[in-house]
Amino acid sequence: MHIAAMRMMAPRGLMERPQMFMKFAPQTRVIEVPDPFGGPARGYEQALDLIEAGCAGLLAHLAGQAKAAG
């Protein structure tokens, strides 16, 4: 995880803004997407499933923020 390094690079007052991607897909109960490199094809399929779930959750989050901002 590089979240600590990302937060250290963030401007003052925005250190909490960087978030783990899988935070947007809590239903997966996964903290980070595992690297499937060198493993079986199923690992790539699982990584893609997690990425798609994270993208859907992130999109819903951003859409909610945009709607609230008007």
Domain boundaries, the chain: 20-69
Backbone angles phi, psi at 14, to 5 degrees: -120, 20
Torsion angles phi and psi, residue 58, rounded to 5 = -65, -45
Enclosing H/E stretch for 32: none
Q: Contact, 20 vs 57, CB < 8 A?
A: no
Of the pLDDT bands very low, low, confident and very high (cuts 50, 70, 90), residue 70 is: confident
pLDDT tens per residue, range 18-61: 999 999 999 999 999 999 999 999 999 999 999 999 999 999 99
